[in-house]
A and B are shown apart, each in its own frame.
Chain A
């Protein structure tokens, strides 16, 4: 058998030869000191290249999973942003990106500026109603049923018991008294 090439020795080292070829090379290495020396050199060099495998700790792996999940979520959100951008483009086709951003920011600022004005207006309306509370009170009381109204009458304008018109013990109302009282308050 002829002496072995470097390539043969590399394939033999990695176990990439056929079984027959492997046996031939093994037998030759036992007989040929030159090829054996070359093989030892090759083996030494290849083992120099070996590096110990690094196993990741569970903490490191969980940290990778967290980051990956965050990045996946981020990329899906950016997809949503793109979709919103496309909708905006359809609504305002002539607007450039900067112009769109400027218009959105301007709209937000205007809303913020006018917000206190709207709020103030709302409260002013309430105070106006408060000023006319007495009229409101009377209107509410007028909407009450007979018995409640009679309480009102007794409180504000009681002239005495109307025994004939009442079947109960509760004082009855004379609405002419109430209406005259309303007129007085309104005036």
Chain B
């Protein structure tokens, strides 16, 4: 978890801002697995998660020089991962829509493939998470998968604790409905 590595992250960031370029590589070594795992919850596959992690590190490199330490670095990294993931999903959604138009004829084949994939529970759960509205998804990723406290999530997302709780309850309810085969009501 990124929050548990806060002290080490701050040390590398300070070294990097002091001119030690290699410290950025050390920072990547420290948090790469965390960033890829969080990215995975958003995008649903390892390859895309790795690509996304690379984007995140480039953004981090460019933005670190302007970082003034007004917030915890780990919270800031979570924010960058979340924003990058949402952008990535938007881009992918466009691509998928185009691909769907092209592959209309192979719909039956993809249905069969879809059923086969659904046998894998993890894949199915991931697909269910993908269907959630972005805010509910963000809260569930940070709370359920990353194990952050509600107070930390509210700081990362810039909203109140009660709002985080509401998104969490609704998100879990919707997930239950999707996995249970009912139509989710996105409220």
Check A68 against B54 for contact (C-beta < 8 Å).
yes
Check A54 against B143 for contact (C-beta < 8 Å).
no
Considering only CB atoms, which chain B residue lies closest to A52 in the complex?
Answer: B122
Decide if A61 is an interface residue (CB 8 Å cutoff).
Answer: yes
A14-B143, A51-B125 known; A56 and B32 CB under 8 Å?
yes
Rounded to whole angstroms, the CA-CA distance of A54 and B122 in the bound complex is 13
Contact stretch, chosen from A42-50, A148-156, A164-172? A42-50
Decide if B50 is an interface residue (CB 8 Å cutoff).
Answer: yes
Rounded to whole angstroms, the CA-CA distance of A149 and B161 in the bound complex is 106
How many interface residues does chain A have, given as a range? 20 to 34
A7-B169, A56-B33, A65-B28 known; A16 and B149 CB under 8 Å?
yes
Return B56 CB to nearest CB of chain A, in Å. 9
Return the contact of A67 from the options B40, B41, B54 (Cβ within 8 A).
B54
How many interface residues does chain B have, given as a range? 20 to 34
Decide if B80 is an interface residue (CB 8 Å cutoff).
Answer: no
Check B33 against A64 for contact (C-beta < 8 Å).
no
Return B129 CB to nearest CB of chain A, in Å. 8
Return B67 CB to nearest CB of chain A, in Å. 17
Rounded to whole angstroms, the CA-CA distance of A61 and B53 in the bound complex is 10
Rounded to whole angstroms, the CA-CA distance of A45 and B122 in the bound complex is 13
Return the contact of B172 from the options A10, A68, A71 (Cβ within 8 A).
A10
Decide if A94 is an interface residue (CB 8 Å cutoff).
Answer: no
Decide if B165 is an interface residue (CB 8 Å cutoff).
Answer: yes
Return the contact of A68 from the options B61, B125, B150, B176 (Cβ within 8 A).
B61
Rounded to whole angstroms, the CA-CA distance of A94 and B173 in the bound complex is 62
Check B150 against A16 for contact (C-beta < 8 Å).
yes
Rounded to whole angstroms, the CA-CA distance of A25 and B40 in the bound complex is 34
Rounded to whole angstroms, the CA-CA distance of A141 and B143 in the bound complex is 97
Return B143 CB to nearest CB of chain A, in Å. 7
Interface residues of A (CB under 8 A from B): 6-7, 10-11, 14, 16, 45-46, 48-51, 53-56, 60-61, 64-65, 67-69, 71-72, 75
